[in-house]
Structure 1
């Protein structure tokens, strides 16, 4: 005759079942999920030329766009571009709105606390741009001036570090808005990348913006969620292979008119 199970025994059995179910789900990591879906969701800010932008036919182009396209193709996956802003790159990873971020994403200690990065695949400079007629030889010359930056970027962080107390820092939520402020003359000093200063002059040559100071050279990497070692290993291996065969250098040169620097092509580790 079977012995009736007690409520406590049934509860323990149910809890054990839930634990086993959780362990099974954990084994199906993100790489498995991506490959099963046959789709790679890549978050990209669509207004960060020459990394990502739209041409006159509204087609997505740029070095980050082509990098994402090549990665998806080599992985045998469909590419889904998930539009984001520079401010939302980390939240999009954390809320699973994207599998990875390829969007002028600099490696920083602060970001590395909450997400993981691949090995670097490209660089980006942080510079202070202003009209040629304006005298700026060092951070001290920013005293009493209004300077703009895109919120949450490494440009914003570097500006905050070096700006004198009397500097007025205005932060915009994306590069497109910062660009509009510079082109229209609402702002004269922008901490950004050299290529965006070039775009300002293309849109309004009378601005005559030049690079006054280089604050830092950052390394760009693919962003991914914490705790996905297999996905990171796959992406790291792909980047190393594409740096080795020259494909990533060709993409970078196409849009930036320069070779990838030695610290990208020949990293110390």
Structure 2
């Protein structure tokens, strides 16, 4: 082996060692999220406050709803300050991915598409995706939506489900948040809404003449806490917390307080 060959090998080894050092520094630099949250003594939770009864403002403009009280219970049990990060259906996941929030508790359904980009805890609640319309309208299936206009909220599972089944000659009118979708129905811009049953109740409270009711259920989805991928310690911590609070009934009490019904059996079995 001549001088130039030895020199080339030496340079290659030096580069390899430097690359290894850089990789080690990168891995070290990726702080565990649970440790970061614990050190900050605060957890930032993304919640849509325009989706009653999951998230909303009360008469004194305080945040309330089943998602809010779930987040409050989580923060209390973990000994952390709660910071609510207001969000919408469309930006819940982007807020998580860009570190604007640590977790998402915002009527977030578990779907295969979402599981590709974020992780989920075990389910802590459930939500039905339904088609609602005034009592006077004869709608029993997707076929009855032919030629009609349907409102949905962008980025929600309701939007995904109605898109799958809507006849080609029907129209979807999408809004960026549930509050705007509700306003459209209340103000008679449209009559048919792909949503959750709880929001139909909100519409009837705002405009009793609408007489909105569930026409048919598209799907029942499980709600879970959204987390960034690659955070096993945080996921394990939250899963353990959910199991404990399903078993002691606290999560069911929150759900029943705002939704008037017990949690689905598919959810409560996680606390057995």
TM-score normalised by length of structure 1: 0.94
Which of these residues, 241, 245, 252, is aligned with residue 244 of structure 2?
Answer: 241
SS in 2 for 1:85: coil
Equivalent residues, number: 263
Which of these residues, 2, 18, 23, is aligned with residue 22 of structure 2?
Answer: 18
Q: CA RMSD in A?
A: 1.7
Which of these residues, 104, 110, 114, is aligned with residue 113 of structure 2?
Answer: 110
- Residue 20 of structure 1 and its aligned partner are, at CA, apart by 2.8
- Residue 209 of structure 1 and its aligned partner are, at CA, apart by 1.1
Residue matched to 1:230: 233
Structure 1: distance between partners of 2:14 and 2:153: 56
Structure 2: distance between partners of 1:10 and 1:215: 60
Q: Deviations over 1:108-161 (max 9, x none)?
A: 000000000000000101111111111101111000000010011100011011
**Structure 1 residues 200 and 160: CA distance shift in structure 2, 3 A:** same
Residue matched to 2:182: 179
Matched, 1:189 2:185: no
Q: Is the 8 A contact 2:122 2:224 kept in 1?
A: yes
Structure 2: distance between partners of 1:164 and 1:51: 30
Residue matched to 1:82: 85
Q: Deviations over 1:172-224 (max 9, x none)?
A: 11001100000000010001011100110100111111111111111000000
Matched, 1:143 2:168: no
Structure 1: distance between partners of 2:67 and 2:271: 24
Q: Deviations over 1:10-62 (max 9, x none)?
A: 76665444333212223x21111111111100000111110110001101110
Q: Deviations over 1:206-253 (max 9, x none)?
A: 111111111111100000001111110000000000000010011011
Structure 2: distance between partners of 1:227 and 1:206: 49
Structure 2: distance between partners of 1:117 and 1:258: 24
Unaligned runs of 5+ in 1: 1-5
Structure 2: distance between partners of 1:253 and 1:62: 11
Structure 2: distance between partners of 1:268 and 1:53: 27
TM-score normalised by length of structure 2: 0.93
Residue matched to 1:157: 160
Residue matched to 1:94: 97
